[in-house]
Structure 1
Amino acid sequence: MRSSSSVSLAGGRCSGSFRQISSPTCPLTVMLDTATEYLMVKKDFQAALDTCEKCLESLASAEQEESCLKHGELKAALTIVGIQAMAELNQWRGVLSWVLQQYGKTDQIPAKIIQMCILLHVKVGELAVIKDAVDDWLRCSTNMSQSGFSTVSELYLIHILIPMGHTTEALELLESDVGRVAFTEEQRQAARSLVDFQNEKNAALSNPNPVTVTTETTASQDKSSQRLNSIIKLLHRGLSIASVRIRSISLRRVFLTLMLLYLLLIRMDPALPSAFPWLLHLHRLLQQAWNTMFGPYYKAHTRS
């Protein structure tokens, strides 16, 4: 592929199969070989698409010679090359309409081309675009005899109906004539298991278990409570240590201040207080506070 947005559907076996069915005596088969060479070798996807369209126009308007390939096989081969070229050109949105332009009706499209259309739209994630066309193709009774009918049914069930969540429609398909023709009993049983699994998955996504939600909520609340309690304990411990240190520091400072004032005032010269009346007042206040706080202790000690 040239870019990440393009889609590659052709492989090495495609070009080989085209060359096997080609006949050098028919001009249209030569054009098929040319288109295949543009697609697989030269990587000129637009030239491959243009060659296929010209050849398909000639095929639709001219009566084929006996030496040419059968009309249906040549048309299918050209359509497959054209689909791959459009995918490489990132023109996948127009693939289905382009195929219908070649075949006129959905039920007339060959099984292998329907398979390519399914795989292309599954790869680009556009399942709804191809769903109705494939459903119409499967409901056509004439297509049930085609060799690729079972493959188309399997792709439709596994890659379109179940991923889109249409499980009821998938079960109806299994029980219909399409399912009985396309699948064996073992395959139908396996498909029912896939449908049941998808239903359980959808139910789990849309309606989560209330018990599980309650348990998860309770566990989350318990973890939050434990974490909060731990934080509170740690904070209380830090505040306790801080308060003790602050208290001890304050007491030390107060005691040191008192000692300094006591030494300063007691050891002052008696002649100086008259010159500093505020010191006398401070001395009286400190002495009064001292007697109030420690007087009972000294009295009790003296009596004893």
Structure 2
Amino acid sequence: MRSEPLTWPPVAAQAASLLEEAADLLVLHRDFAAAVERCEAGCDSLGPGSGTSPVPESSAEVKCSLCVVGIQALAEMNRWREVLSWVLQYYQLPERLPPKVLELCILLYSKVKEPQVMLEVGSSWLRDQTNRGLPEYGGLLELCLLHVLLPLGRFKEAEELVRSCDLLDSEQQQTFLGAICESRRQWAQREEMHSAAEEQEDTATETLLGALSQKLLTVLTLLRRALRSMSSHLCLLPYKKMLLATFLLYLVVVRLDPASPTSLPFIYKLVQLFRQAWAAVFSPVHRSPVKD
């Protein structure tokens, strides 16, 4: 096992050495950032895999393994949002992703409840004629259906994908179509339950708003009656008495200096007069003025 990398091309051997370091950093040392750095260095040494030129099998295997380790390290650092873009920078086209890398990406984004990220990538990979000849195609088709298309409610697209696949026999197609039909039924049932819950919530909200509106209307009606009663009572007060009370209050508060000694007798008489005026204005029964 130790002599096998010696038969590889120098570039692949260097990448394999980086792969071994990355695996040790991931599993043994739990240094995920350093593991990602080793994976990036190994992939960069192998060059971009655009699919336009044949790639040695050894280099392709090492590159795939480097991406697998890198995906796991990024996930451990909770950097799963970077995984797809990080992988595509080394393969450029979604159709060129190795089956193992595509499988890990689908499972990862399904686990974090973001299957829509893999929708376009998975569909492009499955529709590629070259990939249909791979032995992993059937498993990836099922994986994409269960973890991407069906959770997103893409039932029509899933049916078209199954019916257009010549690699599936009639029994396999019926199995997949049955799973799609069952998923559609469950989806519709959840939608009905969700709609019913929303209707109940809207009804409860309308009832609450109606009760609050009724209470507010009652309070406003009582307030209007109170204001009307106060205004009617004030309008019944004689105009001259109101004017006298206002004038006396003005003299006490504004014009008179309470600190002056000469003003004390006058203040006393003025207060007495003010009390008489106040009693005459606001007392319901007329009382004779108090004599000094």
For the criterion TM > 0.5, the same-fold answer is yes
For 1:21 and 1:107, the matched residues in 2 are separated by: 33
CA distance in 2, matches of 1:24, 1:69: 15
Give the corresponding residue for 2:244.
Answer: none
The amino acid across from 2:184 in the alignment is: N
Q: Which residue of 1 aligns with 2:161?
A: 173
Q: How many residues align?
A: 183
Distance 1:199 1:27 in 2: 50
Alignment gaps of 5+ in structure 1: 1-18, 62-67, 209-304
User: Given the alignment, which residue of 163, 169, 177 partners 1:192?
Assistant: 177
Q: 1:91 matched to which residue of 2?
A: 79
Indicate how the Cα distance of structure 1 residues 24 and 30 shifts in structure 2: closer, same or farther if over 3 A, else same. Answer: farther
Kept in 2, the 8 Å contact 1:22–1:30? The answer is: no
SS at match of 2:78: coil
Q: Which has the larger radius of gyration?
A: 1
1:163 partner SS: coil
Q: Which residue is 2:248 aligned to?
A: none
Counterpart Cα distance in 2 of 1:173 and 1:96: 23
Higher relative contact order (CA 8 A, sep 6+): 1
SS in 2 for 1:96: helix
2:14–2:42 Cα contact (<8 Å) kept: no
Tell me the equivalent position of 2:40: 53
Return the match for 2:190 from 205, 220, 243: 205
Equivalent residue runs for 1:95-134 within 5 Å: 95-134=83-122
Partner Cα distance (1:157, 1:189) in 2: 14
Retained in 2: the 8 A contact 1:167–1:199?
yes
Q: 1:121 to 1:22 in 2, by over 3 A?
A: farther
Distance in structure 2 (CA, Å) of the matches to 1:60 and 1:96: 18
8 A contact 1:36–1:48 mirrored in 2: yes
What's the offset of the Cα at 1:22? Answer: 6.6
The residue number in structure 2 matching 1:28 is 15
How far 1:127 moved relative to its partner? 0.5
Whether the 8 Å contact between 1:29 and 1:69 is mirrored in structure 2 is no
Q: 3-state SS of the aligned residue for 1:164? A: coil
**Alpha carbon RMSD of aligned pairs, Å?**
2.5
In the alignment, residue 190 of structure 1 is paired with which amino acid?
A: T
The within-5 A match list for 1:247-262 is none
Structure 2 distance, partners of 1:77, 1:47, is 16
- The residue matched to 2:21 in structure 1 has which SS? helix
Q: 1:35 to 1:186 in 2, by over 3 A?
A: same
* Equivalent in the alignment of 1:11: none
Contact 2:33 2:73 (8 Å CA) reproduced: yes
Letter matched to residue 167 of structure 1: F
For residues 103 and 3 of structure 2, the distance between their equivalents in structure 1, rounded to whole angstroms, comes to 20
Structure 2: state its 5+ residue gaps.
Answer: 8-12, 49-55, 194-292
The whole-number CA distance in structure 2 between the counterparts of 1:158 and 1:87 is: 21
TM-score normalised to structure 1 length: 0.55
Contact (CA 8 Å) 1:171, 1:192: kept in 2 or not? Answer: yes
Answer yes or no: is 1:38 the counterpart of 2:25. Answer: yes
With over 3 angstroms needed to count, the CA separation of the structure-2 counterparts of 1:34 and 1:22, relative to structure 1, is farther
Could you tell me the TM-score, scaled by structure 2's length?
A: 0.58
Deviations 1:87-119 (A, max 9, x none): 111111111111110011111111111111101
Structure 1 stretches of 4+ moved >6 Å: 19-22
Change (3 A) 1:33 1:170: same
Q: In structure 1, what is the Cα distance between the partners aligned to 2:43 and 2:5?
A: 16
Give the match's secondary structure for 2:35. Answer: helix
Q: Indicate the SS of the match to 2:47.
A: helix
* Structure 1 residue 164 displacement after superposition: 1.4
* Aligned-pair identity (%): 35
